[in-house]
């Protein structure tokens, strides 16, 4: 255990610095901030999936004691977004949904009114009394029907990379002796972070507002509110110091922040809006997917052709795109490969990012197909992957800054005991259980985004590092504090990391697993600038203990600055601060992909990789599946904090187990509505579903990928995990299930 009074290094394992505040309830979330005369808003959701509102009768609702206003499209104030575009940092091509805009209904559960009352109970009671007459229009929420309307997306989103073909995949497939061809599907997944989407808008009375929002980007929400409502940036402060999980659901501003701000500006009062768990099933979700994979090999199992076509669902008003098809084309050596990506529109809200968007779908389904091809070729699934291993990004014919997947395969297989596996399905048993061992590969991007951080060192020796980033549970506070401690040698107890406030230095939204690499690099630069100031001030210390040295020649440790290799020439930072005569040393720095770096970004691929090994036990008579063991070996560059890093992988693996066995939004297509919109019926793994998970971090030094050599870990844990489980289920039972989740009915 690391004591908070000691300084830490990058690479040390210790508890998250915000852990105490979280477990003691001191951490406050968006719906927990209070304000004088706070009003409570309750969202009224549409009963129909498509059509128009014919009439709204609010009389009964308005009669409820405590009700202040019922806001609908008929009486809402005019807002600036009616006149101009209001795209946010992560919006997608199309026309963003505008709550309470007009009488049109575009999806079931669409917010159509906000009841505002002095108590939550009054708002909820009145919301049930709002009577709406609809004129329903035909709708479709059935993917099979939507496929008839599928289209190739045209406008590109910046992070969307269309797949690139090579060779002649169709001809090679036709000519090859061994083939596999099948369709794989994934249902819609809905976001279920512990904290529901919530906003508390504090009306300051001087025309300014403070917005406590559940979001992954305080500044993104600030810019959104400014463009939607016509505020100037100085009048809106958005805060999200703690986020109760988000997984991508908080990347785009959700409709509760719009509704709460609308009500606050209309009523000139503070307003809180919290979505119910059921309303969490009325907005962002992982799109439904159909993926057709064709693979072919020669007689020895060498891949000859890869065809990977995928369609994902979108809404009718926006084209949400994911990188679904590319991963398999990048990961395997094969001269002939092609992929097509299409969208299928449905009458739902626009899907969005959900932990490893695109890869969690596309790589996972592809890795089930790879397992099938391995069996077709008569090869062990791991041997098949080793045989077809590519050292370069095979889709773009580019080297990687690093790819230690081979080591992940080796170390994962060794820890799992893969060599003891018998090849044939149904060949391993324990009592009534069929045992299955399966594996899969995971892949994600190693991203780095322009981020600014500040550092302030007080005369007391206390250091504050800050950026407007979010910590959605991923450990950003800890990364910032750890990098600061590593850079300036100050104990953790003297370091305060601040984030989650739009007033802090510029940060992107927290997503894409880029925050540790990006905020870490920014904090390091800011602290190095402080180090430079300390070095200059050290000249004023009596006796000039450091003499004439450059920053590169000194080291910081345990509150001291010393000449490297010469511990006698050392001075306490507190003494330097005292000698400096300054109350505070301050610096701000921006980490961004530099010019030289940008060139190599084009020249080289940057990715994380993983190898997942899964053991399942399937009750032969009942079909009940238990995932008894997972080994996940991850190659993700330099690991800042092995303990918090492991937690990220554990969470990703658990979500992957949910993807394999549990998660599935079930829509009644007659109503166009998700019917299992609660934790009782939308299943996610609970503690009893999770057994042993072992995480291995493969040694992967990579100074080129990002300034700290960090690749990011928030998402890689989910990618491929469901494939490893599904492949293990095949090995146990001989049944190949190509439609996730693998539920009992599909096994019996």
Cα 641 → chain centroid: 19
Q: How far is the CB of 451 from ligand MOS (least distance, A)?
A: 15
Task: Give, for 456, the enclosing helix (H) or strand (E).
Answer: strand 451-458
Q: How far is the CB of 247 from ligand MOS (least distance, A)?
A: 6
Choosing from 195, 367, 664, 715, the catalytic residue is: 715
Comparison of 252 and 456: residue with beta carbon closer to ligand MOS: 252
Comparison of 111 and 248: residue with beta carbon closer to ligand MOS: 248
Comparison of 562 and 610: residue with beta carbon closer to ligand MOS: 610
Comparison of 354 and 587: residue with beta carbon closer to ligand MOS: 354
b/e sequence 462-472, b meaning 16+ C-beta within 10 Å: ebbbbbbbbbb
Whole-angstrom distance, CA of residue 721 vs CA of residue 714: 14
Of 53, 52, 108, 105, nearest to 673 by C-alpha is 108
Q: How far is the CB of 194 from ligand MOS (least distance, A)?
A: 15
b/e sequence 300-322, b meaning 16+ C-beta within 10 Å: ebbbbbbbbbbbbbbbbbbbbbb
Backbone angles phi, psi at 473, to 5 degrees: 105, -5
With CB atoms as reference, the residue minimizing the distance to ligand MOS is 248
Comparison of 245 and 545: residue with beta carbon closer to ligand MOS: 245
Q: Specify whether the CB–CB gap between 260 and 200 falls below 8 A.
A: yes
- Starting at the earlier edge strand, list the strands of the sheet with 451-458: 495-498, 463-466, 451-458, 584-591
Q: Specify whether the CB–CB gap between 116 and 368 falls below 8 A.
A: no
Summarize as ranges the residues that interact with ligand MOS (CB under 6 A): 216, 247-248, 251, 353-355, 357, 511-512
Q: Specify whether the CB–CB gap between 182 and 372 falls below 8 A.
A: yes
b/e sequence 564-591, b meaning 16+ C-beta within 10 Å: eeeeebebebebbbeebeeeebbbbbeb
Q: How far is the CB of 355 from ligand MOS (least distance, A)?
A: 5
Q: How far is the CB of 663 from ligand MOS (least distance, A)?
A: 15
For residue 400, the cross-strand partners are 605
Q: How far is the CB of 287 from ligand MOS (least distance, A)?
A: 12
DSSP state of 710: B
Comparison of 189 and 456: residue with beta carbon closer to ligand MOS: 189
Of 192, 199, 201, 215, nearest to 472 by C-alpha is 215
Q: How far is the CB of 103 from ligand MOS (least distance, A)?
A: 33
Q: Specify whether the CB–CB gap between 698 and 633 falls below 8 A.
A: yes
Of 205, 218, 258, nearest to 81 by C-alpha is 258
Comparison of 241 and 511: residue with beta carbon closer to ligand MOS: 511
Q: How far is the CB of 323 from ligand MOS (least distance, A)?
A: 12
Of 695, 558, 715, nearest to 632 by C-alpha is 695
Helix (H, G, I), strand (E, B) or coil at 117: strand
Whole-angstrom distance, CA of residue 698 vs CA of residue 508: 28
Q: Catalytic: 704?
A: no
Comparison of 436 and 511: residue with beta carbon closer to ligand MOS: 511
DSSP state of 157: P
Q: How far is the CB of 216 from ligand MOS (least distance, A)?
A: 6
Comparison of 359 and 589: residue with beta carbon closer to ligand MOS: 359
- Sign of the Cα torsion 351, 353, 359, 360 reads negative
Rounded to a whole number of angstroms, the distance between the first and last alpha carbons of the chain is: 49
Task: Give, for 373, the enclosing helix (H) or strand (E).
Answer: helix 359-376
Whole-angstrom distance, CA of residue 242 vs CA of residue 239: 9
Strands of 657-702, DSSP E? 667-668, 673-674, 692-697
Comparison of 254 and 270: residue with beta carbon closer to ligand MOS: 254
User: Would you name the residues annotated as active-site residues?
Assistant: 715
């Amino acid at each position: 255990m690391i004591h908070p009074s000691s300084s830490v290094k990058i690479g040390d394992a210790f508890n998250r610095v915000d852990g105490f505040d979280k477990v003691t309830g001191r951490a406050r979330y968006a719906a927990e901030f209070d304000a004088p005369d706070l009003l409570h808003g309750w969202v009224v959701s549409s009963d129909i999936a498509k059509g128009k509102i014919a009439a709204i009768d609010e009389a009964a609702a308005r009669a409820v004691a405590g009700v202040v206003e019922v806001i609908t499209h008929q009486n809402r104030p005019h807002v600036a977004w009616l006149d101009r575009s209001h795209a946010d940092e992560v919006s997608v091509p199309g026309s963003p949904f505008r709550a309470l805009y007009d009488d049109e209904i575009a999806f079931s559960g669409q917010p159509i009114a906000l009841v505002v009352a002095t108590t939550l109970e009054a708002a909820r009671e009145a919301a049930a009394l709002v009577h709406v007459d609809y004129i329903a229009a035909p709708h479709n929420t059935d993917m099979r029907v939507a496929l008839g309307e599928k289209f190739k997306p045209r406008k590109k989103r910046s992070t969307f990379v269309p797949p690139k073909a090579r060779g002649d995949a169709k001809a090679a497939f036709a000519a090859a002796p061994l083939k596999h061809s099948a369709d794989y599907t994934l249902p819609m997944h809905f976001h279920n972070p512990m904290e529901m989407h919530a906003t508390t808008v504090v009306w300051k009375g001087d025309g300014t507002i403070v917005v406590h929002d559940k979001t992954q980007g305080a500044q993104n929400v600030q810019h959104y509110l400014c463009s939607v409502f016509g505020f100037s940036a100085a009048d809106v402060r958005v805060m999200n110091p703690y986020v109760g999980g988000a997984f991508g659901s908080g990347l785009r501003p959700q409709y509760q922040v719009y509704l709460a701000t609308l009500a606050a500006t209309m009523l000139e009062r503070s307003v809180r809006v919290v979505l119910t768990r059921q309303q969490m099933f009325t907005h962002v979700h992982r799109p439904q997917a159909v993926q057709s994979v064709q693979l072919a090999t020669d007689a020895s199992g060498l891949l000859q052709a890869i065809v990977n076509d995928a369609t994902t669902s979108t809404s009718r008003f926006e084209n949400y795109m994911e990188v679904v098809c590319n991963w398999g084309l990048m990961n395997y050596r094969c001269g002939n490969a092609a992929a097509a990506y299409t969208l299928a529109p449905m009458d739902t809200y626009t899907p969005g990012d959900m932990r490893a968007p695109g890869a969690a779908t596309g790589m996972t389904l592809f890795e089930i197909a790879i397992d099938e091809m391995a069996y077709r070729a008569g090869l062990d699934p791991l041997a098949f992957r080793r045989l077809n291993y590519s050292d370069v990004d095979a889709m773009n014919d580019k080297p990687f800054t690093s790819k230690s997947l081979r080591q992940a395969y080796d170390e994962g297989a060794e820890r799992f005991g893969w060599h003891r596996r018998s090849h044939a399905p149904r060949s391993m048993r324990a009592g009534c259980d069929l045992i299955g061992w399966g594996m899969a590969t995971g892949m994600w991007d190693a991203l780095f985004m322009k981020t600014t951080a500040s550092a302030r060192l007080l005369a007391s020796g206390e250091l504050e590092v800050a950026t407007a980033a979010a910590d959605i549970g991923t450990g950003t506070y800890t990364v910032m504090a750890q990098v600061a401690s590593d850079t300036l040698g100050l104990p953790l107890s003297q370091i305060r990391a601040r984030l989650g406030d739009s007033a802090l230095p510029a940060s992107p939204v927290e997503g894409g697993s880029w925050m540790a690499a990006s905020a870490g690099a920014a904090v390091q630069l800011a602290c190095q600038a402080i180090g430079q100031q300390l070095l200059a001030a050290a000249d004023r210390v009596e006796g000039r203990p450091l003499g004439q040295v450059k920053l590169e020649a000194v080291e910081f440790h345990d509150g001291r600055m010393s000449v490297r290799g010469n511990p006698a020439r050392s001075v306490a930072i507190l003494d330097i601060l005292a000698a400096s005569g300054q109350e505070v040393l301050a610096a701000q720095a921006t980490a961004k992909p530099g010019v030289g770096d940008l060139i190599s970004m084009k020249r080289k691929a940057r990715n994380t990789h993983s190898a997942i090994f899964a053991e399942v036990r399937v009750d032969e008579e009942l079909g009940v599946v238990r995932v008894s063991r997972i080994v996940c070996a991850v190659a993700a560059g330099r690991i800042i904090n092995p303990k918090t890093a492991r937690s990220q992988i554990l969470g990703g693996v658990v979500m992957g187990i949910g993807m394999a066995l549990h998660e599935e939004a079930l829509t009644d297509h007659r109503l166009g509505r998700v019917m299992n919109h609660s934790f009782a019926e939308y299943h996610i793994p609970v503690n009893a579903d999770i057994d042993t998970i072992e995480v291995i971090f493969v040694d992967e030094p990579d100074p080129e990928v990002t300034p700290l050599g960090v690749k990011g870990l928030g998402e890689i844990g989910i990618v491929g995990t469901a494939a490893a489980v599904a492949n293990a289920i095949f090995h146990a039972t001989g049944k190949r299930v190509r439609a996730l989740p693998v539920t009992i009915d599909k096994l019996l």
